[in-house]
């Protein structure tokens, strides 16, 4: 009897985690879509390549990613009502998240001031991007999202490489465009992962409905 109760409890917790992960994937995709647009737009603007073709393509791509992300969030919230998560379980995660954000903001201020003292605005771009990449490393552990670990490592290495071989406007363009493309790629990855979470939850719901006892009218 105890084993049966434990299995049921574990199953409920797994469904709740999947529902929460679905919402989290949507939120992460939304943030990455917007940040990616900011970085990529900055880089393309600095390169002076916006025209009648690249401008609409850039805007439509951003709208598509943002729209998909919002849809995933709404869908996740609907399914979370069926498989609710205890609020207390999310609090330690969010405290850790805001702690990382505070440290990131402080680091951004420090590197910006240092680059300004050196008279190198290009270094400010590179160092801020590197801080952004590094901040994904602890977030990967907090949210149990390996994609954030990969993203953080690739971003940091990209910034270090650009710092080593480029200078001035070329450094700003390379870092910004690279960051934007990586963030958009991570957004697409998060949306695909969200789709897998949704399929698992729908499968759980289908199994639950098929195994539920049916009421038959007695003659």
Tell me if 176 sits within 8 A of 40, measured CB to CB: yes
Give the per-residue pLDDT at 176.
95
Residue 188 has pLDDT above 60, yes or no: yes
- Rounded to an integer, what distance in angstroms lies between the CA atom of residue 138 and that of residue 123? 24
- Rounded to an integer, what distance in angstroms lies between the CA atom of residue 121 and that of residue 80? 45
Tell me if 173 sits within 8 A of 135, measured CB to CB: no
Give the per-residue pLDDT at 16.
76
Tell me if 166 sits within 8 A of 26, measured CB to CB: no
- List pLDDT tens digits, range 127-168: 999 999 999 999 998 888 888 999 999 999 999 999 999 988
73 closest CA partner among 39, 128, 22? 22
Q: What is the pTM of this model?
A: 0.83
- List pLDDT tens digits, range 57-110: 999 999 999 999 999 999 888 888 776 665 556 677 788 989 999 999 999 999
Dihedral angle sign, alpha carbons of residues 105, 154, 97, 64: positive
């Amino acid at each position: 009897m105890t084993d049966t109760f434990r299995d049921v409890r574990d199953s409920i917790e797994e469904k709740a985690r999947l529902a929460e992960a679905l919402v989290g994937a949507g939120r992460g995709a939304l943030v990455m879509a917007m940040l990616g647009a900011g970085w990529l737009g900055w880089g393309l603007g600095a390169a002076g390549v916006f025209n009648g073709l690249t401008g609409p393509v850039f805007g439509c791509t951003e709208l598509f990613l943002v729209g998909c992300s919002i849809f995933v969030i709404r869908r996740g919230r609907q399914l979370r009502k069926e498989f609710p998560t205890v609020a207390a379980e999310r609090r330690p995660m969010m405290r850790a998240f805001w702690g990382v954000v505070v440290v990131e903001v402080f680091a951004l201020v420090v590197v910006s001031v240092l680059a300004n003292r050196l008279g190198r605005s290009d270094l400010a771009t590179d160092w801020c991007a590197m801080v952004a990449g590094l901040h994904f490393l602890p977030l990967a552990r907090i949210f149990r999202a390996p994609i954030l670990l990969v993203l953080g490592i690739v971003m940091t290495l990209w910034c270090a490489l650009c710092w080593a071989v480029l200078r001035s406007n070329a450094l700003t363009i390379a870092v910004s465009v690279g960051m934007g493309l990586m963030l958009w790629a991570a957004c697409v990855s998060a949306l695909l992962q969200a789709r897998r979470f949704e399929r698992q939850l729908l499968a759980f719901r289908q199994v639950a409905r098929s195994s539920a006892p049916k009421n038959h009218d007695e003659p």
